[in-house]
Chains A and B, each alone.
Chain A
Amino acid sequence: MLKEILKIIYSSGYFSNRDLAKQLNVTEEVIIDGINQLINMGYLKREAKKDMCPTSCTRCPYVQSCNKDIVETYQITEKGMSVI
């Protein structure tokens, strides 16, 4: 299953737990666990959200929009690529 997850998300460039669950005929929770396992084992990397605004920015009126993230991004690691 994990290998398939890697292959699917690699070829489509995106993933939704819902789609993966449907394609692999498992529940979304199983997919979520699977993704976490892939991350734990170092096949997939979740992009760390760095704290973008330094403290000197707290007076900037746009400080709140600085750290917002509208989408989670992941990277398939070298190890992950070798499986694909």
Chain B
Amino acid sequence: MGNRKIALVGNPNSGKTTLFNVLTGANQHVGNWPGVTVEKKEGKLRYQKNEYDVIDLPGIYSLGAFSEDEIVAMDYVLSDDADVIINVIDSSNIERNLYLTSQLLEMGKNLVIVLNMTDEAEKRNIKIDVFGLSKILGVPVISAVAHKGEGKNEIIKEVVNAILKKKTYDNPIKYNKNVLHHIEHIEEILKGKKIPYPIKWTSIKVVEGDSHVLKRLEESKIGKEAVEAIKDFHRFHSKDSFELEVVDSRYSFANSIAEATVSRPAKEVETITDKIDRIFINKYLGIPIFAIIMLVVFQVTFVIGEEILGGIAAFLIEGLGGLIEKLLMSVNSPEWLISFSINGIINGVGAVIEFVPLITVLYLMLGFLEDSGYMARAAFVWDNLMRKFGLQGRAFISMIIGFGCNVPGIMSARTMDNKKDRMITMFINPFMSCGAKIPIYTVFIAAFFPNHGALVLFSLYALGVIVALIMAKIFNNTLFKGESSYFIMELPPYRLPTIKNVLRNMWTNVSGFIVRAGTVIFAVVTVMWVLAVVPASAEPYSQDSLLGAIGSFLMPLFKPAGFGTWQESVALFAGIPAKEAVVGTLGMLYAGEYMEEGKALVDAIRENFTQLTSLSYMVMVLLYTPCAAVLGTIGKETKSIRWTVFIALYTFALGWAAAVTIYQVGSLLGFG
């Protein structure tokens, strides 16, 4: 007769391999289980002149058909090859481990339980009633600290003893009546047939619908009739979710055992974060709290990013401009090069670059909120609200991404399977104020609302969101009718944000901003500059230039919104290739016009706008046609030119209507 066999079964990281090494010493070899890539470790244990084979099975949380590891372990345990199974349990996580134990007991196998890692459990003040556990289960239970060899002798003694006794167990799990009835029915079908596993257990697994067991049954010779009977059973009960009942019965058993034998230190009854969290996701308070948090974020952004750091950036750029001008003059550069460098680059592109500190601060804080786990809560409270507007919660994620840039915001709608959800999410994303619009708002805020910057910026973002929700509702009732998917979000635990994640998030947005300033914005401003200085006959930067002609042509369109100069109109036009170019173009044009006076952009804006027109201008910028990259993305994602044109036009109409309304109503009320 060959050696007696001992198999180790347990959750991953419960210490099986460590115990295996303790039992077998150097006496082991590694191979593969037949037909699969799962590693098979075998070794020999010598004890009192006898030799035993020890087998280390793959780590698993349950025995079933869901992974190769599970199937290997299940087949091996059921094969009766082993004389005894050691169920290795991580004591510090015993509750979770007991599910597997319940499955082993369900199989009725000869079992020895090793409560490993008792040192860990002790450290965490987890108390396990070892004697009670053994008594309730009727299985020998031994405490151990495998990596120190503690418990080795007792384990060997119990294991050898169990081999001699050849114990088997009655299934202790209580299934509900209905399920039990069906188990008996299947047992009836299988009775007398040659099946590869014990009949009682097989019947349970058939009711549970374990695909692996069903496959094995079909392969074995139980006859066509029995196979058909089982198939009929499943067909007939396809809606009964017996599998859930069976699994739940095991959980009930495992949980009751844990309850009876394990005590953990009373958790801090309700931690402060739990309480705060309850408020954060409260139906009524969630959104106001989100609003307050964003307001604070904007306030800090303005104080640090604009007032403190923004001034420094402006100073540096101005200084750089002076240096370049001197340098160019000293080498007798042509007039046009000086004009282009100072008006085009420094006052145009530079006007955009000035906002790098502000953007940095803003995205640092948003990254902090994101990494802390708060944004997931925000997504949840928004989900509740958005559902009322026919949007699903994942749309909020697109919206958040859209606050950085609408291109990835629109791309992220790809994760949605439902076409209606996807289309609406894409169509409203442009109303999420992207980072490129921040410079525009900020110069107008600096000119007219220097003391209420955060509030104005917040209101603009909020207006964008409100318009997005209203449009979603309208689309939902007109263009895209149908059901939305219902989503459930996982709220991750709060955590202290890591510096690395926060910095990475910030850098994504800031580097994107800088790259765009150096490429797209540079290109647009250059084109605008050329248009502003041709033809040679015209006074540069004047209405007689080509750009001036375009602006004058557009002017009547924007007159009802209160934008009275050709520069304002043409800047909006420049914003269609890229939004930052609105500021870049205004900066370049005003610098050209006020060259002698050396006026700063903010002063020039103060001269050309009023508080009211600055508001209507900002709202226009918020809502009107998204930039070319966004339109391109919409085109690619919808694969439709018609939808793309539609979006370009309806957003323009909406922005125009809103700007006109603000200006006209404001004028009527005497704010003009």
Contact = CB atoms under 8 A, between A and B. Distances in A.
Interface of A: 1-3, 9-10, 13-19, 25-27, 29-30, 33-34, 36-37, 40-41, 43, 47-50, 52-53, 57, 60-66, 68-76, 79, 82-83
B415 A52 contact: yes
Contacts of A33: 61-62, 96, 99
Given A14-B281, A37-B62, 6 more contacts: A27-B264, A57-B411, A65-B408, A70-B400, A71-B397, A73-B394
A29 B93 CA distance: 8
Interface stretch (B236-244, B470-478, B649-657): B236-244
Nearest to B239: A82
Contact of A27 (B95, B384, B412): B95
Interface stretch (B29-37, B158-166, B506-514, B591-599): B506-514
- Tell me whether chain B's interface is mostly helix, strand or loop, or mixed: helix
B504 interface: yes
B456 to A, nearest CB: 26
Contacts of B264: 27
- Tell me whether chain A's interface is mostly helix, strand or loop, or mixed: mixed
A70 B95 contact: no
B490 A15 contact: yes
Contacts of B61: 33, 36
B66 A40 contact: yes
A65 B404 contact: yes
Contacts of A52: 408, 411-412, 414-415
Given A33-B99, A75-B486, A14 B394 contact: no
B106 interface: no
B99 A16 contact: no
Nearest to A42: B243
B565 interface: no
Interface string B372-410: 000110011001100000000110010011001101100
B96 A27 contact: yes
**Closest 3 A/B residue pairs (Cβ):** A61-B512, A66-B408, A71-B376
Interface size class for chain B?
A: 35 or more
Contacts of A43: 241, 244
Nearest to B259: A25
Contacts of A64: 504, 508
18 contacts: A1-B251, A9-B488, A14-B380, A16-B492, A16-B493, A26-B95, A29-B96, A30-B255, A52-B411, A53-B411, A62-B407, A65-B401, A65-B405, A70-B397, A71-B397, A71-B491, A71-B492, A74-B490
Nearest to A29: B96
A49 to B, nearest CB: 7
B489 interface: yes
A73 B488 contact: yes
B542 interface: no
A36 B66 CA distance: 10
Contacts of B505: 65, 68
Interface of B: 61-62, 64, 66, 93, 95-96, 99, 239, 241, 243-244, 247-248, 251-252, 255, 258-259, 264, 274, 281, 370, 375-376, 379-380, 383-384, 393-394, 397, 400-401, 404-405, 407-408, 411-412, 414-415, 485-493, 504-505, 508-509, 511-513, 515-516
Contact of B96 (A1, A3, A30, A72): A30
B515 to A, nearest CB: 4
Contacts of B401: 65-66, 68
Given A16-B493, A26-B95, A62-B405, A69 B397 contact: yes
B512 A62 contact: yes
Contacts of B509: 62, 65
A63 B407 CA distance: 9
Contact of B375 (A49, A71, A82, A83): A71
Nearest to B258: A26
A9 B489 CA distance: 9
A45 to B, nearest CB: 10
